[in-house]
Amino acid sequence: MSRRKPDIYERQKQIRNQEYWQSHPLREKYPEVTGLVIKMSFKDYDERSNPKPRQVEFSQESKAFFKIDCPYRECVSGGFDFSSAIDELVTSHLDKLDGTITCQGWQDKERIGKHRCFLELSYTIFAKYKNDS
């Protein structure tokens, strides 16, 4: 028996883990930031039910890895990347930033190239800085 090849979901998890471990801590990437919070809610325009709202918090010791998996386990190459939003937030020294991101993944592995996920995520990111009281 040959060893089973990792499937597409295991592969994307491995890549994600690798990126996570290669990321620097928040205090190195944004030394002036003491904490970040991303609040997310989801809206699905397909027949699927909306995933529950989520919140992710980052401390100075957290990895500055701002990609969040799509809540749909079947979704291929999906997810939400907050890297540029957080960059904008911190560079402009804002306390919060709102926006939406649409998942560009494929709905499941049978529908690669055919049907995108298009789950819509609305977010508010809150930042705390060193000089804040």
Q: Interface residues with Zn ion (CB under 5 A)?
A: 70, 72, 75, 78, 103, 105, 117, 119
- The b/e string for 36-75 (b: 16+ C-beta within 10 A; e otherwise) is bebbbbbebeeeeeebeeeeeebebebebbbebebbbeeb
Report, in Å, the least distance between residue 55 CB and Zn ion: 19
Nearer to Zn ion, 50 or 59 (CB): 50
Tokens linked to 80: 């939400």
Nearer to Zn ion, 26 or 75 (CB): 75
Report, in Å, the least distance between residue 77 CB and Zn ion: 9
Report, in Å, the least distance between residue 129 CB and Zn ion: 32
The rounded distance, in Å, linking the Cα atoms of 21 and 16 is 9
Nearer to Zn ion, 38 or 117 (CB): 117
Report, in Å, the least distance between residue 28 CB and Zn ion: 30
CB atoms within 10 A of CB 127: 22
Rg (CA), the chain: 17
Nearer to Zn ion, 27 or 108 (CB): 108
